[in-house]
Each structure stands twice: as C-alpha cells, then as structure tokens.
Structure 1
Amino acid sequence: MPIDVERALSAGPSSTRISWGHKDVQLYHLGLGAGVPATDPLELRYTLESRLHVLPSFATVAGGGTGVVGGLAAPGVDVDLTAVLHGGQSVETHRPVPAAGSATQTSSVAAVYDKGTAAVIVLRSEAADDDGPLWTSQAEMFVKGEGGFGGERGPSSRSGPPARTADHEVRRGIREDQALLYRLSGDWNPLHADPEFAALAGFDRPILHGLCSYGMVLKAVVDTVLGGDVTRVVSFRTRFAGVVFPGETLRVRMWTGPEGEQGDRNGPEGVTGGPGRVVLSATAVEREDAPVLTGAVVTHP
C-alpha cells in the first residue's frame, strides 16, 4: 500500500526555514482576485507595498506552500497526485503575519484516517520566528483508492449553515486565468493547469485550487464583515465540498448572529478562537449553487 500508516505517524516532524517578502504577498493576493478596482483604497491594502496588509490564509503558501508539499513527501506516504484532493483546511494565527519575514516551519503527519474507499492524511504545520509562534496550519488530503486498511475513520462533521437567510451575501468572479496565476505562489499540481492531467483525474478541464477559493472567501469575509482589518482574523477553517472551475462565480453567504455560533458547535475540530464567529458557505453560481466550501467558520475577537 502506498501509505505506510505506522511509518508516517512515527516519523519525526520535519523542519525547514522559510522566508517571504512583499512581492510574495502581493502575488498571492493577486492570485485571489485582489486589486479590482485597481485604485480602490481598500484593494490597495492587498496590492501596494507601502500599505500592505497580509491575509492570514497566506500561511498556506508562505515559503512556496512547503507544508503541504512536504507532508505528501513524508516517510511512508507515496501517493498518486491524480488521486489526491484537498478535503479540508484550517489556519490559526497567533499574531498578525508580517509582510516580509522568515520563520522555521515544522511539519508532520498528524493522522491517517480510513474512509473505506479513500484515506485522509492530516498534515499539520507550525511556523515560528524569533518572536515566537506565527501560525498553525492543518490540511486534510483526501486520497482516492487508499482506504480499506482497517484504520480509524476519524472525526465526522455534518454541520451546515443556519436555517435562515444569510446576513451578508457577495459574489466573487473567478477569472479564466486565475488558477494559472495562483499556482505561481507554489502549488504546481498540474491538475490546475494541464487539461490532459485533469482528464486523468476525472475532470473535463483544470479545476481551481481549493486553497485559492479558501483565500477568496476569507478576503470576502474580511472586506464585508471585519471592516477590511485582516488582523481581526483569529482562525479560518473549512471543508472542501466540491470543485470550482476558472470562469465561474462564487456565491459567499455569511451568518454573523447567535445562530451562527450554534451551527459552529458541531463543526470540525482542532481550531480555537475568540467569541466572534462568522459561519460561511460558498457555492458555484453557474452550476445551480453546487457546494464548494462547507463547514466554514471564521473566528475573530
């Protein structure tokens, strides 16, 4: 079996030194669709180096996204990329991410779950600089065809959004070339660029990176609910419920009332935050609101 569970879990964490500058942050934000309108003062906070604020989701690509990539190359893990889908993601920030810096990133396989027809590899990364912890990131990688080895099924979350009209709703268009731009931040999986590779994975065309939609939705929350203040984000977690294609439109719904907090109680485990919560869903408008992100929660003070 390509996944040697015992070996993967017993392997010690790997550490690497990562660094980034303002150009890396700007490229990441542009890959999320920031900068439209180009002269909007709110957008300049994402695109102009003299005013730059960093979305916490940048943690998923800092250092070229080595946390996830390194995890898939961990001892005991040897999987076919055509069988891999991003199942879930969380980022918890311990303080604001600087526009330029360096850190030591420590990554490990935290768990491997047996879902029957598939395996889920949980990859955990922690980054710290000389001033202490910066962020903790956790990715759940769904590997088709690698289940059935008799392992634990792992936690199951069935939470959905509150059963009422969302407090906020926005649409975010995905450019035709957005995946090509986003991949320059470090995720070179050909699934997002090569039509032939996408066909091998069962798609009629390349799909957008799950982490791109993840960042787009977080930006929508910051701009709509948090007054454009990226430093108010404590954590953001989600499950990837379906794919989205370049050229489509994301519909992002946000619930900010007490019902949102009730919905969060049954959400995915592993992320803590302040008392404020925004519960989210994201769907693909052109495909009758097919689910893209679900079980999504942003926590803030």
Structure 2
Amino acid sequence: MPIDAAQALSAAPRTGEITWDRKDVQLYHLGIGAGVPATGPGELRYTLEDRLHVLPSFATVAGGGPPGVISGLSLPGVDVDLARVLHGGQSLTVHRPLPARGTATTTDRITAVYDKGTAALLVLRTDAADADGPLWTAEAEIFVRGEGGWGGDRGPSTRSEPPAGAPDTVTERPTREDQALLYRLSGDANPLHADPAFARRAGFERPILHGLCTYGMTLKAVVETQLDEDVTRVRSWAARFDGVVYPGETLRLRMWRQRGEGGSGRGSASAVRVAATAVERADAPVLTGVVALP
C-alpha cells in the first residue's frame, strides 16, 4: 500500500523555516477576491501596505511553499498520485494576530491515518512559531482516493448539518474566471487548478478553484459581515470541503450567529456558522461544518 500508516504516524516531525512580507500578504488577499471596489476603505485594509491587516487564513499559504495538502504527501510513509488527492477539510487556530511580515519555524507531522473504505484520510498538523512564541496551529484533512480498504480505523464522523432556522445573514461572493490562476501564485501550483487535461484525469470537467481559496473568501465575508471588519477577532476557523467551485461561479454564504450567554448584538456572538453553496448549480454544497470562533 502506498500509504504506510505505521511509518507515517511514527515518523519524526519535519521542521522548516518560512518567511513572508507585505507583498505575499497582498497577493494572497487579491487571490481571494480582495480589492473590489478598489478604493473601498474596507478593501484597502487588505491591499494597501501602509494600513495592511492580515486575514488569519493567510497562514495556509505563508512562506510561499506547497500548502499542507501537498507538503504532507512528501512525509515518510506517504507515496501517492497527486491526481487521487483531495483536500477534505481545514482548521486553523491563531494564537495571536499575524504580522504583515515575519519569519517562523514550522513543524509538520501526520497525527492520524484513517481507512474510509474507498479512500485513506491523512490528518496533517502544522504548528508555526516565531521568536515571540506560537503563531498558529493548522490541521489539513487529506483524502487519497483508492487507498482505503485495509481494515484500519475509520475515524470519527465529521459530517455537520447547518443550524436549524433561517440564517441571520445571506451574502454572495462572485469568483472570477481567472481566480485560480491568481491564487496559485501564493504557492499551490497543483495542476488540478489550471490544466484542463489534468483536471479531467482527476475526474473533473475542468479545473476547479482551490478549496483554500474558497476557505479564505468565506472567512473574509464573515469578518466583514459579522466581526466589524476586525481580522484580529478571529481565534479559529474550520471548514469541510464538501464540493467544488468552478472559477467564475458565485458563492452563496448563509451565516448563523450563535450568541454568548445573555448576549445580544453582533459583539456577543460566541460562534458564527456558515454554509457555502454554488449559486449556478442549484446551491450545490461547497463548504459545510464551517465555524468561526471570535
């Protein structure tokens, strides 16, 4: 089996150093749709260097190298075909606001390998810290199709239904036809998002948008509509990638605010839950189990 669960779980953590600057942050923000309208005060926080705020999801691309979903495939015990790989989910905990430029040490390890029958599921944890201490902790769920069925632990069920009742907020975010081409410049050069022939080999009619791009777009919308446009209020952000987005489609985001005890109003929200769908395909699910903790 190309995935050796015992070897993957027992392997020593891999450490490395990453650096980033304001241009990397600006490019990431543009890749998730920031800058529309170009002169909007809220958008300038993402695009203008003298007032730059860093959206926490930038952590998923900081350093400009392959993101966890790709770098995890080079760890000991893992040798798979990239065309069989799908990013199944992503969680992120930020320990303090991300700086617009910095250097950090990252530590990667596979913390779980589950047998989902038709696929294997790898859980890759990445911790990042700088000279002042921990910055963020990220976990990527990586599905490898065709590599399950060896009789291993199936792992916990992670399916999640949207909250009952009407959402508090519904908003739409368009994607551009060239968005994947711009987003991939932040480090994820997987041809699935650019090469039609590779996308067809992977089972898609055409290249798809990066799940982490949708992930960042959705967090930006939550910050704008639920957290007073304050990126520093995000403590954690998690989502499951339950469907794909084709560049040029529109995201419909339904948001539910879950209040703190005795609270009312935006500032008292203890969690924001989101369901993201693709408008042009009859609200086909894209992101589920989406939770922001301010």
Q: TM-score range by the shorter chain?
A: over 0.9
Total equivalences in the alignment = 286
The equivalent residue for 1:176 is 177
The equivalent residue for 1:245 is 246
The equivalent residue for 2:47 is 47
Deviation, structure 1 residue 149: 1.2
Partner of 1:166, secondary structure, is coil
Contact 2:66 2:188 in 1 (8 A): no
Which runs of 5 or more residues in structure 2 are unaligned? 261-267
- Report the TM-score, using the length of structure 1 for normalisation: 0.93
Take 2:282 and 2:49, find their aligned partners in 1: how far apart are those partners?
39
Partner of 2:23, secondary structure, is helix
The equivalent residue for 1:17 is 17
Take 2:270 and 2:32, find their aligned partners in 1: how far apart are those partners?
25
Residues 65 and 297 (structure 1), Cα distance of their counterparts in 2 relative to 1, 3 Å cut = farther
Contact 1:94 1:134 in 2 (8 A): yes
The equivalent residue for 1:289 is 283
Deviation, structure 1 residue 194: 0.1
The equivalent residue for 2:155 is 154
The equivalent residue for 1:31 is 31
Deviation, structure 1 residue 160: 1.2
Take 2:132 and 2:7, find their aligned partners in 1: how far apart are those partners?
33
Query: Equivalences for 1:106-121 in 2 at 5 Å?
Result: 106-121=107-122
Residues 108 and 275 (structure 1), Cα distance of their counterparts in 2 relative to 1, 3 Å cut = farther
Contact 1:67 1:105 in 2 (8 A): no
Q: Please give the per-residue CA displacement for 1:156-201, whole angstroms capped at 9, x wherever unaligned.
A: 0232111211101110000000000000000010000000000000
Report the more deviating stretch, 174-183 or 274-283. Answer: 274-283
The equivalent residue for 1:137 is 138
Partner of 1:296, secondary structure, is strand
Q: Which runs of 4+ in 1 moved over 3 A?
A: none
Deviation, structure 1 residue 258: 4.5
Partner of 1:184, secondary structure, is helix
Take 1:97 and 1:66, find their aligned partners in 2: how far apart are those partners?
19
Contact 1:67 1:125 in 2 (8 A): no
The equivalent residue for 2:272 is 278
Query: Equivalences for 1:47-126 in 2 at 5 Å?
Result: 47-66=47-66, 68=68, 69-126=70-127
Q: Please give the per-residue CA displacement for 1:71-109, whole angstroms capped at 9, x wherever unaligned.
A: 110011011111100000001000000000000000011
Contact 2:258 2:269 in 1 (8 A): no
Deviation, structure 1 residue 113: 0.4
Take 2:159 and 2:82, find their aligned partners in 1: how far apart are those partners?
27
- Report the TM-score, using the length of structure 2 for normalisation: 0.95
